[in-house]
Amino acid sequence: MESLVSTSASFLTQPAPLTPNQRLPPFIPSQISPIRSRKYSQLLADSPQNYREAALHDALQVSEVCKAAYKKQLLDMQSSALLVGMYSDHLHGQLAAQQDKQNKRKTGHLNADGLPKLLSGDEFFKRVEEHEVAAQTEAVAQESRKKQ
């Protein structure tokens, strides 16, 4: 966990909610050689001549089985990591769209409640001023977030 703090995925260790500009680093899979049926099939086909050869024969069989199992696990983990990355990108797009939708809603309409307004009235003028101040502070906050 401590090694994750110094990477580009350090935002995952923070308790703060995720934002659309935080993305997981891309997964770069390593090339894996194909699983061969048996590289040492000739050695395994020969019958052992003594106890030592029998022990080595058994160890080679176990080693081949373990190697195939590890390679399969590695392939499974790589495919899972790729699928998680695709899912993460999909969620990232949804989060960005949701935040854009919320930002559009936050712009606010002062005349949106359907009631008649006296546009030169003191109460409405005060609401307009409050709205402008809120819009300016939001723009400053958004600009400072972009710089980070």
Taking alpha carbons only, the member of 42, 38, 45 closest to residue 64 is 38
- In this structure, is residue 13 part of a structural domain? no
Q: Are 35 and 71 in contact (CB under 8 A)?
A: yes
Q: What is the pLDDT of residues 66-91, one digit of tens each?
A: 988 999 999 999 999 999 888 988 88
Q: Are 85 and 26 in contact (CB under 8 A)?
A: yes
Number of domains in the chain: 2
Instruction: Return the beta strands (E) in 93-145 as ranges.
Output: none
- In this structure, is residue 143 part of a structural domain? yes
- pTM for the whole structure: 0.55
Within this chain, do residues 74 and 64 fall inside the same structural domain, yes or no? yes
Q: What is the pLDDT of residues 91-123, one digit of tens each?
A: 888 888 888 887 776 656 666 666 666 666 777
Q: Are 9 and 16 in contact (CB under 8 A)?
A: no
Within this chain, do residues 78 and 41 fall inside the same structural domain, yes or no? yes
Domain that holds residue 117: 108-148
Within this chain, do residues 100 and 117 fall inside the same structural domain, yes or no? no
Within this chain, do residues 90 and 34 fall inside the same structural domain, yes or no? yes
